[in-house]
Amino acid sequence: MRSNSRGDAELGQQAEIRRVSCYVLGGLCVFSSMRSNSRGDAELGQQAEMRRVSCYVLGGLCVFSSMRSNSRGDAKSGQKAEMRGGLCYVLGGLCVFSSSRSNSRGDGESGQQAEMRGVLCYVLGGLCVFSSMLSSSRGDAESGQQAEMRRVSCCVLGGLCVFSSMLSNSRGDAESGQQAGMPRVSCCVLGGLCVFSSMLSNSRGDAKSGQKAEMRGGLCYVLGGLCVFSSSRSNSRGDAKSGQQAEMRGVLCYVLGGLCVFSSMRSNSRGDGESGQQAEMRRVSCCVLGGLCVFSSMLSNSRGDGESGQQAGMRGVSCYVLGGLCVFSSMLSNSRGDAESGQQAEMLGVWC
């Protein structure tokens, strides 16, 4: 698989994932090595790579043993983002992560250390059940900025994870009471997967602006085994003066064979009238052949104003199901595809 984003000649900026060899042991793809080089010019030695990805299949899905990513690995700052010691085991059929640690911009002076530690989960019935997960991003002592997802208790009813409550606090310092919480997440299992009844998220919930991003009234039903979302609405920075309202409405999907089939999904972010900025994913039709979703076409237009022709589209995505999982035959993505620079990021000829 090769991806080239902003492939102009003067910098040799070439983001590529090469030498991806994988094998199938039991039914799913096992990646042995994957290397990504983004902005690989020589003077900085900026080399983002995911190397030494060894994984094994126990029971049917991929078990990652170690994964290391180094982005902007120049010597002067020691900036090294890595996910190390990712050990997971398979109990029943899917991957059980025991610990995963990520350190981005790990220089010594600020102690900025983003890590997901103590992630213990167990498999009851076939899929992973998370018992606790704590993430601290920019955990320096003076502000107590600690983004964490705690008190995540879930049980398995029928085969998949049922979340009962989840609270996330990002930048939880005391003076502003900024607390992003997803409380009151109740869901039940009908047929095998989780059915969310209501979910409310409040990010930067101070009183003066009423900025409240919420996904409410998320009703979904299970037909055949996976969740069928009927409606989901998200409003971020929903103050009255600009009418900025990001919403995903009219999401209809059906289950044919076992997984969710999306028929249409529309998202409008910052939908004020003067610029017509409307990011939407439309005409997403997919069918299920064998058990997983087969996307036939998906088009996304972000900031689709007319003067620059900025249109990020993923089109012509045809894939087929051989044995149970999706086989992508071709996928082309064009982000900021204006003609003067030939900036074209594409992933094509992806066979697996």
Residue carrying structure tokens 């044995």: 323
Look at residue 202 in the predicted model and tell me its pLDDT.
31
Residue carrying structure tokens 């042991």: 25
In a domain, 272, yes or no: no
Look at residue 253 in the predicted model and tell me its pLDDT.
36
Interval 200-215: pLDDT, tens: 333 333 222 232 222 2
Look at residue 95 in the predicted model and tell me its pLDDT.
34
Distance CA 86, CA 56 (A): 13
In a domain, 351, yes or no: yes
Look at residue 124 in the predicted model and tell me its pLDDT.
30
Interval 129-163: pLDDT, tens: 333 333 333 332 222 222 233 333 333 333 333 33
Of 86, 116, 146, at which residue does a domain stop? 146
- Owning domain of residue 283: 279-352
In a domain, 196, yes or no: no
Tokens for 236, please give them. 């971020």
Of 122, 146, 170, at which residue does a domain stop? 146
Provide mean pLDDT across the span 117-136. 33
Helix (H) or strand (E) holding 1: none
In a domain, 197, yes or no: no
Distance CA 212, CA 208 (A): 11
In a domain, 244, yes or no: no
Helix (H) or strand (E) holding 322: none
In a domain, 314, yes or no: yes
Distance CA 93, CA 226 (A): 17
Look at residue 98 in the predicted model and tell me its pLDDT.
36
In a domain, 225, yes or no: no
Of 101, 124, 146, at which residue does a domain stop? 146
289: amino acid identity, one letter? L
Look at residue 165 in the predicted model and tell me its pLDDT.
34
Query: Number of structural domains, the chain?
Result: 2
In a domain, 27, yes or no: yes
Interval 234-260: pLDDT, tens: 333 332 323 322 233 333 333 333 333
What share of the chain has pLDDT > 90, as a percent? Answer: 0
Burial zone of 138 (CB within 10 Å; 0-12 exposed, 13-18 middle, 19+ buried) = middle
Provide mean pLDDT across the span 319-347. 33
Name beta bridge partners: 101.
Answer: 84
What angle is formed at CA 254 by the lines to CA 249 and CA 258, rounded to 5 degrees?
Answer: 135
Q: DSSP string covering 101-150, please?
A: EEESS--TTT----EEEEEEEEESSSSEEEEEEEEESS--TTT----EEE
